[in-house]
Structure 1
Amino acid sequence: MDQQLLIFVTVAERQNFSRAAEELHMTQPSVSQYVQALERSLGTRLLDRNNKYVRLTKAGEIVYHHAKEILHLSARMRNMVDELINVPSGELSIGASYTFGEYVLPHAIARLRETYPLIKPSIIIHNTTEIVELVVKRELDVGIVEGDYRHEKAVFEPFGDDQMYLIVSANHRLAQKPNLSAGDLQGETWIVREKGSGTREATEKMFASLSLSPAHIMEFGSNQIIKESVEAGLGISFLSYYAIRKELLLGTLHLLPYPGIPITRTFSLVTQANALQTKALAVFLDLLRSMDRLT
């Protein structure tokens, strides 16, 4: 059954029997036979196909979604059985929000690979909301996110702190001003992350705590674009120390001192509720928990 599902999923994703056969190292007639056998067992067509395209039917969409989960669970089962008699190994799917994923996670993966070279991590970087959803749908083994996001089907475990700072270009007029007022901050153009990100959540909480409601806001989808925009003098922002430390050393960004800043937030591990852990996942979680500093 796993073989049928794997072949069906590959055809659906490649939208072509020939490309699927090439990827699977099979002949095209063999691929067609497996798909037809799956359709017969389910009593319905799963794919609409002609000379121009291969597309999922409505039934095919249902089977595709569940087949992906079945194949993931099957691989997970095999990994867990294998790990009972061997060292931690196998695939480990990790998702992280942008700040942790871009600036901290690479260091953690390097430590993991040094100790457990047979573990094969794959990484997805997205905003907090999307990472949590992927964990809940079992498309990720673990997520690392920022802020206070919660989901009834996921378990959240705080494991590290992050400090958030106000930043401007080193040449910005506010960089030379010793005593900032709320009016100074209110009148600036603020460059912020998109809704759904942990950094945006932290920014909005900071606005509320400082009683700010800026009229001019520019919204960008990554920390790197925000840093480049701030360096170019387009405005002011609020970012993690991990995201800006290199620019601070280079002198291209400047921290703005202000009462109540920096603000501390928490990084959390996100796992599936009531899910068994592979040994690979367990050692990775232990590694993150034991890091005195995140980098």
Structure 2
Amino acid sequence: MTLRHLRIFVEVATTRTMSRAASNLHISQPTVSQVIAELEKVYETKLFERFSKELKITDSGRLLLRYATHTLQAKTSLEKAMREHNAMDLIRVGGTVTVGTCVLNGIVRQIMHDHADVNVYLYVNNTGVIERKLLNNDLDIALVEGRIRSREILTRPMIPDTLVFVCDAAHPLAEREDLTLEEACVFPFILREKGSGTRARFEEAVRARGLTLNVRGEYNNAEAIVNAVSEGLGVTVISSRLIRKDLAADRLRIVPLKDCEPMERFFCLAWHRDKFLSRGVRVFIEAVEAFDGSFGR
């Protein structure tokens, strides 16, 4: 039994003649007769009593008519809902904490301005969590700062970023022109949580020198780290994009690490290799490509 069977049955029940039903549906009368016979065989009951001039629907026919009508109405509602859904693109975008704090909001605001028919759902967490959500199809695409490890996820470098060593303006290191990584590791650090791309990148540099970090606090919020460092609770390594206002206000100071290669990286687009790139996703990619930092933090 198919929706076509139900559509023909409802038309016969409405017109009470197979010839008129066939005419309305632009099919042959034998086809209508065959469909009614198939339904009666499937449900093992008579749906109509045949009289000379018209068909009389039976109790079984009335029961089927009620359900058939609801089913066809549900199909119509489904098609309408799908058309409306497709007309309004919804994309689920993931971002890591640094990206979400200093880049992502501006990109999405630009999309809202340029594409009123694209809705964006944002989810911000560390790289490890974002990667799992991409693998589980909980997100359509993401912009991440950390390294993606799964081969199922494709990445493309997009926006350059630099990690810097930072202390507060009253810190003993604030007036130093530079310092070594070993000297920096003596001081208490306020860092992102494990799983963060920022923390992973810095820890790689520390391990490569055979050093250990004095971690005083772990935060999963970049602005909370900035506030803690500005209050003198510790030092940190953080994206230079996150501290522009604090540098301008002389709340924080950057001290170069003279024996450490510049911690340069890219924020990368990431998506599942089997993911269909819808129009909304392509709009997001284009907005990231057009990003120039003018609407960053």
- TM-score clears 0.5: yes
Structure 1 CA distance for aligned equivalents of residues 233 and 83 of structure 2? 50
Q: What is the rounded CA distance, in whole Å, between the counterparts of 1:79 and 1:199 in structure 2? A: 42
1:285 partnered with 2:271:
no
2:128 maps to a residue whose letter is T
- Pair 1:203 & 2:212 matched: no
Answering whether residue 172 of structure 2 is matched by residue 173 of structure 1, we say yes
Question: What secondary structure sits across from 1:201 in the alignment?
Answer: helix
Q: Does the C-alpha gap of structure 1 residues 79 and 139 become closer, same or farther in structure 2, counting only changes over 3 Å?
A: farther
State how 1:250-289 maps to structure 2 within 5 Å. 250-259=249-258, 260=260, 262-289=262-289
The answer on 1:213 being equivalent to 2:237 is no
Residue 69 of structure 1 is matched in structure 2 by none
Structure 1 residues 118 and 192, CA gap change in structure 2 (3 angstroms): same
- State how far apart, in whole Å, the 2-side matches of 1:79 and 1:95 are: 26
Output one character per residue of 1:270-293: Cα deviation in whole Å (capped at 9) or x when no partner: 112222111011111122123344
Cα pair 1:79 1:90 within 8 Å, conserved: no
Normalised to the residue count of structure 2, the TM-score between the two structures is 0.67
CA change 1:117–1:200 in 2 (3 A) is same
Structure with larger Rg: 2
C-alpha separation between the residues in 2 aligned to 1:183 and 1:108?
38
Q: Structure 1's 220 and 277: CA in aligned 2 closer, same or farther, altered over 3 A?
A: same
Q: Which residue type is aligned with residue 173 of structure 1?
A: P
SS in 1 for 2:257: coil
Distance 1:79 1:137 in 2: 26
Return the letter of the residue paired with 1:275: K
Q: Distance in 2 between matches of 1:145 and 1:94?
A: 11
Contact 1:99 1:243 survives alignment (8 Å): yes
* Superposition deviation, residue 154 in structure 1: 1.6
How far is 1:135 from its partner?
A: 1.3
Distance of 1:163 and 1:79 partners within structure 2: 44
SS of equivalent residue, structure 1 residue 267: strand
Listed one character per residue, the Cα deviations across residues 161-220 of structure 1 (whole Å, up to 9, x for unaligned) are 110000000110110233424443121001111111111112212323555312444222
Work out whether 1:148 is the aligned partner of 2:141.
Answer: no
Please tell me whether the aligned partners of residues 169 and 252 of structure 1 are also in contact (alpha carbons under 8 angstroms): yes
Residues 1:209 and 1:251: Cα distance change in structure 2 (over 3 Å): farther
Q: Which runs of 5+ in 2 are unaligned?
A: 1-77
Alignment of 1:16-27 (within 5 A): none
Cα RMSD between the aligned structures?
Answer: 2.4
Distance 1:247 1:274 in 2: 42
| CA contact 1:186–1:213 (8 Å) conserved in 2 | yes
Equivalent residue number for residue 94 of structure 2:
95
- Find the counterpart in structure 2 of residue 28 from structure 1: none
How big is each residue's C-alpha offset from its partner over 1:5-32, in whole Å with a ceiling of 9 and x where there is no partner?
A: xxxxxxxxxxxxxxxxxxxxxxxxxxxx
- Check the 8 A contact 1:80/1:278 in 2, yes or no: no
User: Normalising by structure 1, what TM-score?
Assistant: 0.67
Change (3 A) 1:82 1:238: same
**Identity within the alignment, %:** 24
What letter corresponds to residue 158 of structure 1 in structure 2? P
How many residues end up aligned between the 2 structures? 216
Q: Which runs of 5+ in 1 are unaligned?
A: 1-73, 84-88
Contact 1:164 1:261 (8 Å CA) reproduced: no
Task: Report the residue type matching 1:191 in the other structure.
Answer: I
| 2:197 partner letter | G
Secondary structure of the 1:173 match is coil
Deviation at 1:82, TM superposition (A): 3.9
